[in-house]
Amino acid sequence: MKKNKLLKVVAVIGAGVLGVSMFAGCAGSAAPQGTNDAPTTQTPPQGDNKYIVMGTNAEFEPFEYREGSEIVGFDVEISKAIAAKAGKELKIEDMEFGTLIVGLNNKQMDFIAAGMSVTEDRKTQVDFSEPYFTSKQMIIVKSDDGSIQTADDLVGKKVGVQLGTTGDLFVSGTDGVEVIQFDKAPLAVMELKNGKVDAVVIDAEPAKRLVEGQDDIKVLDVPFTEEEYAIAVRKGDTELLNLINSVIAELKENGEYDRIFKQFFDVEE
Ligand code: ARG
């Protein structure tokens, strides 16, 4: 990581809603609902008997977000398939993105499914599954701001990011950028609209959702940093990792991956 002499302001807003947990129903047809006896041929991964716990930060549409009291999204669907394969019910722990890896290693969850990009640094702390999605970091600006056209133009500007994300790492590693960290990306976008930050750096799909239907902000057409999302397990938890990899492969093979993709992405565009 590059050295930098940045002025960092940590905006801890809305922390009150963190640490919420909820139960999601079991996966569709493959769910072992109503069966208390899990098939003996399947060795359940660690965690307590009934549940397998997905850790996430549900502020990342369309991967994980709230619809009423429910947490839904692309990652939730994949996690339901993992739970079904493990013969367990899925429980979701919703917490600050930056605390997920610590939470995983403290056994607050069995795996992280949070649009989490594989990075060298994270690889020293967790084991990643095969990647299941390719993404990029994008820049959101005010529609009438001509001064930011590329990532280089962020120098000298105030840039909002979600704390602990790869967008945060990227911008924090760039000299001369004033980074403002938020615990939720939507708050960064609100501050952009209010003129408190000049730009927001965030993953492509959530960026699109955050500007949808709003004329005063737009996503710049200049992606940078290609990244891959993968599911994280504790280091050495090979049994669960193998199970997750087999689920990802099966979903791709049997067409379920495409179905889930169509459910959450605007494939026409
Ligand atoms: N892909 C980025 C990263 O790994 C951002 C992920 C944010 N995910 C979320 N559920 N809030 O750092």
Give the least confident one: 41-50, 84-93, 123-132, 204-213: 41-50
The pairing of strands 224-229 and 133-142 is: antiparallel
Tell me, yes or no, whether 100 and 28 share the same domain: yes
Average pLDDT over residues 175-198: 96
| % residues pLDDT > 90 (the chain) | 77
pLDDT (0 to 100) of residue 221: 85
C-alpha 90/C-alpha 82 separation (Å) is 9
**Residue 173 located in a structural domain:** yes
C-alpha 117/C-alpha 60 separation (Å) is 13
Tell me, yes or no, whether 46 and 85 share the same domain: yes
Cβ–ligand 1 distance for 59 under 6 Å, the answer: yes
Tell me, yes or no, whether 141 and 178 share the same domain: yes
Residue 87's domain comprises 17-133+228-264
**Residue 2 located in a structural domain:** no
Average pLDDT over residues 66-83: 97
Residue 72, pLDDT above cutoff 60: yes
**Residue 3 located in a structural domain:** no
Tell me, yes or no, whether 214 and 249 share the same domain: no
Residue 48, pLDDT above cutoff 60: no
What's the number of domains the chain is made of?
Answer: 2
**Residue 269 located in a structural domain:** no
Tell me, yes or no, whether 25 and 53 share the same domain: yes
Who has greater pLDDT, 5 or 37?
37
Cβ–ligand 1 distance for 97 under 6 Å, the answer: yes
Q: Which atom of ligand 1 is nearest to the CA of 75?
A: 10
Tell me, yes or no, whether 143 and 128 share the same domain: no
**Residue 12 located in a structural domain:** no
- CATH number of the domain to which 152 belongs: 3.40.190.10
Average pLDDT, the chain: 85
pLDDT (0 to 100) of residue 268: 58
Tell me, yes or no, whether 163 and 247 share the same domain: no
| % residues pLDDT > 70 (the chain) | 81
Residue 261, pLDDT above cutoff 70: yes
Residue 181, pLDDT above cutoff 60: yes
Residue 18, pLDDT above cutoff 50: no
Question: Which residues lie closer than 8 Å to 117 by C-beta, 6 or more apart?
Answer: 135, 165, 166, 203, 227, 228, 229, 230
**Residue 202 located in a structural domain:** yes
What are the tokens at 76?
A: 């939730």
Cβ–ligand 1 distance for 57 under 6 Å, the answer: yes
Residue 22, pLDDT above cutoff 70: no
Who has greater pLDDT, 18 or 162?
162
**Residue 21 located in a structural domain:** yes
Tell me, yes or no, whether 91 and 146 share the same domain: no
Residue 44, pLDDT above cutoff 80: no
Tell me, yes or no, whether 111 and 244 share the same domain: yes
Cα(174) to ligand 1 centroid in Å equals 19
Q: Cis peptide leading into 62, omega within 30 of 0? A: yes
Tell me, yes or no, whether 145 and 252 share the same domain: no
**Residue 234 located in a structural domain:** yes
Residue 30, pLDDT above cutoff 90: no
Compute how many other C-beta atoms are within 10 angstroms of the C-beta atom of residue 50: 12
Cα(50) to ligand 1 centroid in Å equals 28
Best mutation site among 20, 119, 125, 203 for ligand 1, i.e. most ligand atoms within 8 A of its Cβ? 203
Tell me, yes or no, whether 156 and 36 share the same domain: no
Who has greater pLDDT, 46 or 152?
152
Tell me, yes or no, whether 31 and 128 share the same domain: yes
User: To 10 degrees, what angle do helices 204-211 and 185-193 make?
Assistant: 50
pLDDT (0 to 100) of residue 200: 97
Whole-prediction pTM: 0.82
